[in-house]
Amino acid sequence: MQDEIRLNKYLATNFGVSRREADKLIEDGKVLINGKVAKIGRRVGVNDKIEIAGKEITAQKLVYIMLNKPKGYVCSRKRQGDTPTIYELLPPEFQSLKNVGRLDKDSSGLILLTNDGDFAFQMTHPKFVKTKVYDVKLDRDLEPLHQQMIADFGVSLPDGRSQLGLTRLSDSSRKDWEVTMSEGRNRQIRRTFDALGYKVTYLHRRIFGSYLLGKLPEGKYIEIDKK
């Protein structure tokens, strides 16, 4: 029927997982449709009852949030010691949203949150190549040779080569840089500079894919449209 959709898409939309994760749940026999174990490729309509672990999965309104994360907050649901989480900046109705990509405690800037698993997957999986742009300050001037190494050849890290786009933010300083990347490895920017003997003292994300932080105040959020 025309109003039916594939089960994995339904779960991605309404259960906050990627389609790949949805397929795994179906393959493992954890998804029921009208009381019967679902099969891969099944389509569902508005009258079907979908359950996972005894919980009915109902259609929900999709929500997309852009937050300007302050330094000193972690992207997790539980505090790490006395360190607050980004969810403490959000009202109760947004507490169940999942963050799309992370920023470490010492970094600030653009964070996306959503209950749309498909959207989260498309924003974070390497095959979709989402560009991210950061303002970065170093503890000392970046030597031209090291600039060339990072931008042209990449720096070897334990989890692979790291190559970053670099643009000076000031003609009078070699500490301040705009860093462009499409990967999302853990603390990649910090580790790249650290491998060459530099410490990142400031890291702020301004752009994530087609989303721009703009003038959103620190610690504030806005609802956005899916692009």
Q: Catalytic residue numbers?
A: 104
Q: Answer yes or no: are the C-beta atoms of 134 and 206 closer than 8 Å.
A: yes
Q: Answer yes or no: are the C-beta atoms of 101 and 184 closer than 8 Å.
A: yes
Cross-strand bridge partners of residue 132:
181, 208
Q: The tokens 């990967």 sit on which residue?
A: 183
Cross-strand bridge partners of residue 179:
134, 166
Task: Extract the tokens encoding 180.
Answer: 């462009």
H-helix or E-strand containing 118? helix 117-124
Question: How many alpha carbons lie under 13 Å from residue 158 in its C-beta half-sphere?
Answer: 4
| DSSP 8-state secondary structure symbol assigned to residue 226 | -
Cross-strand bridge partners of residue 68:
110
Q: Answer yes or no: are the C-beta atoms of 5 and 18 closer than 8 Å.
A: no
What CA–CA distances, in Å, run from 187 to 2, 17, 101, 104, 194?
A: 45, 24, 12, 7, 10
H-helix or E-strand containing 50? strand 50-52
Query: 159: how many CB neighbours lie within 10 A of its CB?
Result: 11
